[in-house]
């Protein structure tokens, strides 16, 4: 059995930050489901929000976050993240992240995005996430205590209660079963485990997320006995490129921060009709407005137009976007670009405390997989990378002080495949994958209803039963593991949505169009 002191599942900003923070106190193993750069972090375009300028303030950032969160943020958590954010950004810069500088003043060039009252977004052109991933990977690779294991797919957490070890004591994490690229499942034992596997965007037909975002960490924690909360608050990014071959390419909110306008196909600018801040309104407002305008007028898309800005400015600040749009035949400097909303960020997740701890001893969660209370009912733009760093740092601080676990009275059992055989029906995986994503898009999308949610739950439960039978009959594969997790987090999303009898933030239902006077988190326990 492989053993390590710290086991990190996921190699984005949260996972790598945690690894670097604990590496001086013991060996760290970081699991990557695929390659080293295939994370949600690497796809982030916008940047990281942090208060660093004299004309900005913690109080302003806190207030912006609370307003976006629509009355459901945990104010204590918001203050922690906002106040500790600048130090985390400084540490990220020390680790090699190169953010854009203002050519005139020598200071950092800061973007402003929707919901922010000030310019406070650190960025690296329009590929901020890629730059952060590059810097953190470089720092982690050079540390002798950090080991990377790519193409290692976590199957399930190993806990003391699940395997009958020390059941008279609090439940604690012991490690995880891992499917390697050769198709074998082996346990990795660890004193401490951090889940940092990112979001759940792939439960939807249209998403800005990379293919790895199938909710693995949330599903594993739930199966291990940890509650989840607020999964109904799925943020739909308002502006993903509309093109049959574009797949999941988003047009950063920073475009609207620099003056881009949203137009109908007929040229009418519609956002001033919906919100006083027009294109800089919170994302849920903008996404619903686009969705409504498209459906009302029978259009396939809306237009995002920044062609009135200077070409040189666009080439300097948005080189990736210009290049990508050009690949699909669009010139951002001369015309509006077709866009549609797409699933982007899950504001709920595994319930954690202010140190990233779960109810299982030694198990931490950070990043998009966690529900910390920061985002409330709607995430403020560019707060997600910030949250990942702050809670990874806090979790590391807490983990370093944990006493070493005593030797186990018995080792966890090796993986038992039972009578499973190789599958000759891969079409089952493909069919169920497509069905889940389409029914989630149609029934649990930007606008919901009781009937749609009930239909979604009924169908997901049938699919889940079929997947469970398939899981035990056939040898596991990465596709099967992702499908199993995808189905579970889809069910959790629907259950949370059904429990919320109001419209708030990212959750809008035609059956309860008003906000409740006493908002509560929606909690689903195993």
Q: What CATH number is associated with residue 520?
A: 1.20.58.100
Name the active-site residue from 120, 264, 283, 288.
283
Q: Are 220 and 153 in contact (CB under 8 A)?
A: no
List C-alpha distances in Å: 509 to 329, 456, 498: 37, 14, 10
375 located within any domain: yes
pLDDT of 341-369, one tens digit each? Answer: 999 899 999 999 999 999 999 999 999 99
Query: Quick one: 118 and 32 in the same domain?
Result: yes
Query: Quick one: 242 and 352 in the same domain?
Result: no
| Residue 407 pLDDT | 66
| Residue 408 pLDDT | 66
The last residue of one of the domains, among 400, 419, 441, is 400
Beta-carbon contacts of residue 42 (< 8 Å; ≥ 6 apart): 12, 129, 130, 133, 210
> From the CB of residue 358, how many other CB atoms can be counted at a distance below 10 Å?
23
For the chain, the farthest-separated pair of C-alpha atoms sits apart, in whole angstroms, at 71
Query: Quick one: 395 and 262 in the same domain?
Result: no
Q: What are phi and psi of 208, to 5 degrees?
A: -90, -5
Structurally, the chain folds into a number of domains equal to: 3
Instruction: Enter the tokens of residue 100.
Output: 């854009």
| Residue 273 pLDDT | 95
> From the CB of residue 119, how many other CB atoms can be counted at a distance below 10 Å?
16
Q: What is the dihedral of CA 398, 404, 409, 412, to 10 degrees?
A: 50
Query: Quick one: 112 and 218 in the same domain?
Result: yes
144 located within any domain: yes
Query: Quick one: 294 and 353 in the same domain?
Result: no
**283 counts as catalytic:** yes
Question: How far, in Å, CA of 238 to CA of 169, rounded?
Answer: 48
Query: Quick one: 216 and 243 in the same domain?
Result: no
Length of the chain: 526
CATH number at residue 385: 3.50.50.60
CATH number at residue 313: 3.90.700.10
Query: Quick one: 115 and 252 in the same domain?
Result: no
Query: Quick one: 179 and 302 in the same domain?
Result: no
Query: Quick one: 201 and 65 in the same domain?
Result: yes
Which structural domain range is residue 269 located in? 237-341
Enumerate residue ranges in the chain where pLDDT < 50.
none
Beta-carbon contacts of residue 314 (< 8 Å; ≥ 6 apart): 306, 322, 332, 333
243 located within any domain: yes
Q: What are phi and psi of 146, to 5 degrees?
A: -110, 125
pLDDT of 125-182, one tens digit each? Answer: 878 889 999 999 999 999 999 999 999 999 999 999 887 777 778 899 999 999 998 8
Beta-carbon contacts of residue 424 (< 8 Å; ≥ 6 apart): none
The last residue of one of the domains, among 291, 311, 341, is 341
Radius of gyration, CA atoms only, the chain: 22
CA 130 to chain centre: 15
Query: Quick one: 164 and 246 in the same domain?
Result: no
97 located within any domain: yes
Question: How far, in Å, CA of 440 to CA of 452, rounded?
Answer: 10
320 located within any domain: yes
List C-alpha distances in Å: 19 to 153, 156, 174, 195, 436: 18, 21, 18, 12, 34
Question: How far, in Å, CA of 345 to CA of 448, rounded?
Answer: 18
495 located within any domain: yes
Instruction: Enter the tokens of residue 151.
Output: 């193409």
């Amino acid at each position: 059995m492989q053993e390590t002191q710290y086991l990190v599942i996921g190699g984005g900003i949260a996972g790598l930050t945690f690894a670097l923070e604990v590496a001086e106190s013991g060996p760290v193993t970081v699991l990557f489901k695929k390659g080293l750069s295939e994370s949600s972090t690497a796809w982030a375009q916008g940047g990281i929000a942090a208060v660093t300028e004299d004309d900005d303030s913690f109080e302003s950032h806190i207030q912006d976050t609370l307003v976006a969160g629509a009355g459901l943020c945990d104010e204590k958590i918001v203050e922690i993240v906002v106040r500790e954010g600048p130090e985390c950004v400084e540490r990220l810069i020390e680790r090699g992240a190169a953010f854009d500088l203002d050519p005139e003043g020598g200071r950092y060039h800061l973007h402003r995005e929707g919901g922010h009252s000030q310019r406070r977004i650190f960025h690296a052109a329009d590929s901020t996430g890629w730059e952060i991933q590059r810097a953190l990977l470089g720092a982690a690779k050079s540390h002798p205590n950090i080991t990377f294991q790519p193409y290692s797919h976590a199957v399930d957490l190993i806990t003391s209660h699940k395997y009958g070890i020390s059941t008279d004591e609090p439940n604690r994490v012991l490690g995880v079963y891992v499917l390697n690229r050769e198709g074998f499942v082996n346990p990795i034992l660890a004193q401490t485990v951090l889940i940092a596997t990112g979001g759940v965007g792939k439960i939807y037909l249209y998403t800005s997320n990379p293919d790895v975002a199938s909710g693995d960490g949330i599903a594993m924690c739930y199966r291990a006995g940890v509650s989840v909360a607020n999964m109904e608050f799925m943020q739909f990014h308002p502006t993903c490129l509309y093109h049959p071959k574009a797949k999941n390419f988003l047009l950063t909110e920073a475009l609207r921060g620099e003056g881009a306008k949203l137009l109908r196909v007929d040229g009418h600018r519609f956002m001033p009709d919906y919100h006083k801040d027009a294109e800089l309104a919170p994302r849920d407002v903008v996404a619903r407005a686009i969705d409504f305008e498209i459906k009302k007028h029978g259009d396939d898309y809306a237009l995002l137009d920044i062609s009135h800005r200077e070409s040189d400015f666009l080439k300097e600040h948005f080189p990736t976007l210009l290049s990508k749009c050009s690949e699909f035949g669009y010139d951002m400097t001369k015309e509006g670009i077709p866009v549609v909303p797409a699933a982007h960020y899950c504001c709920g997740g595994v319930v954690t405390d202010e140190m990233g701890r779960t109810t299982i001893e030694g198990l931490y969660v950070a990043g998009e997989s966690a529900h910390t209370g920061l985002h409330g009912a709607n995430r403020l733009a560019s707060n997600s990378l910030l949250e990942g760093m702050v809670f990874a740092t806090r979790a590391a601080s807490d983990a370093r002080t944990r006493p070493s676990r005593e030797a186990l009275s018995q080792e966890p059992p090796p993986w038992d495949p039972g009578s499973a055989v190789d599958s000759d029906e891969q079409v089952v995986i493909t069919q169920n994958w497509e069905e889940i994503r389409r029914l989630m898009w149609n029934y649990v999308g930007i606008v919901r209803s009781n009937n749609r949610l009930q239909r979604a739950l009924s169908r997901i439960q049938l699919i889940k039963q079929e997947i469970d039978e398939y899981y035990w009959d056939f040898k596991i594969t990465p596709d099967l593991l992702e499908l199993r997790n995808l189905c579970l987090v889809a069910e959790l999303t629907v259950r949370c949505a059904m429990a919320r009898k109001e419209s708030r933030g990212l959750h809008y239902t035609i059956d309860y169009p008003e906000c409740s006077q006493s908002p509560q988190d929606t909690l689903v326990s195993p």
